[in-house]
Structure 1
């Protein structure tokens, strides 16, 4: 997949916390369509998209498919032992380059993405009723930043503090094409999705309803 096709970040970025950056419209419509097509392919397998079952029996309302490493609460494995036992799809080089470009733009430093080599991505699909409770991304052994891309319906993203799920937190609307990066002092901040706003996405992206969220991480695993 060719790399060009980002939106123009411009001056509208926001920084809700140290190390956290939100850039609206970072992905161009063309890039969003390409990602939707790629996500549909990953959702079909080798490990199909599914609702993750939690250790205590609960089932997550979002549907998830993984690249590179399979996330199974609360660890990463090469094979999806909780689904079909297959090895997950490889993490593509073009997605590594996209992650590096995201960091360079988010931190306004051409060198910020150097050496950033994400090796897993969690791709979550939210329908109009799906939510994500406040949690930390802490199953990785690396503290490298998380790169999050949104496509489709707008959501209300709650970005909190590193100590607890409670206040202080900031509610941010993430729309189609938005980039959100959190690293440094905010790498282990609690965060979640409180609601999805149905009908706010553009069908021209190839996604007629719901929201796709692609989060790239560095596991630190061999």
Structure 2
């Protein structure tokens, strides 16, 4: 398994103690696209935040690639996250003053495991795979919404992560670009043997995913 949780419970303490996740246990395998859906306030975002390793203040166990996330130091966790987890958001968060190529290269340059030329080579391969090879020098703000999301997906893939966490990745797109983005994530999941977790309100996504997790008042229904 790429990701496994056991009996995760999460509490908020303001304005008073309130349980937001209850006994969440799940497994996600390579090549498996998992959709998390539910009404607003059901716990989707809180669960994704934990699965992303951005929140370790919870009860229970989270393992990614057989590493117990709670046992890693802050520095180890940062390095682990940069290497093994890619992120795609509803809003792409590309740097507008940077070119498409520069945006994609950023996480790999930050990780520092490869030379600049090696990172550039990897980024160009990704751009070709995503049909964006003609846009390398274009400033990201001059792209359409669908193109920006493709660049964001390439950026998430640049370090070859095992896990991709996508928070409403189609929520800011029209239907055509939404379908294209989802199809792209499905293709990446199967062809590259990634584990992809998507939080979504879009029925088309969770009805066509490999696995669905319905959130109801902090509990999951598989």
TM-score, with structure 1 as normaliser:
0.28
Structure with greater proportional strand content: 1
**Which one scores higher on RCO, CA 8 angstroms, separation ≥ 6?**
2
